[in-house]
Amino acid sequence: MKESMAVVKDLSKISRVERAEYVVQLQEAKREVEAAIMMRRRRIRKEQLEIDNAERRLRDIESSLNHLM
C-alpha cells in the first residue's frame, strides 16, 4: 500500500489529468485497504472458530471429569 496516498493533495492546484490520476491512485489505495481489512476479518473469524472449538472441547473434558468423580 502506498503510504503517500494518505496525504490529501490541494486539488485546486492540479490539472484535470493530474486530478484523474490522483483519483485512480486513491481508488487503488482504497481497494488495497479494503482487501487487507477483509483478509484480517477472515483470519479473526478463523481464530475465533478455533477458540470456540477449544472451549467446547474443554467443557466436554470437564464434564467427563465431573462424571468420573
- pLDDT for 56 equals 98
**pTM over cut 0.85:** no
Report how many helices (DSSP H) and strands (DSSP E) the chain contains, helices first: 1, 0
- pLDDT for 7 equals 62
Tens-digit pLDDT profile for residues 6-47 = 566 677 778 889 889 999 999 999 999 999 999 999 999 999
**Average pLDDT of the segment spanning 63-67:** 96
- pLDDT for 51 equals 99
Is 26 within 8 Å of 5 (Cβ atoms)? yes
Spell out the domain ranges in the chain.
15-68
Residue 2 pLDDT greater than 60, yes or no: no
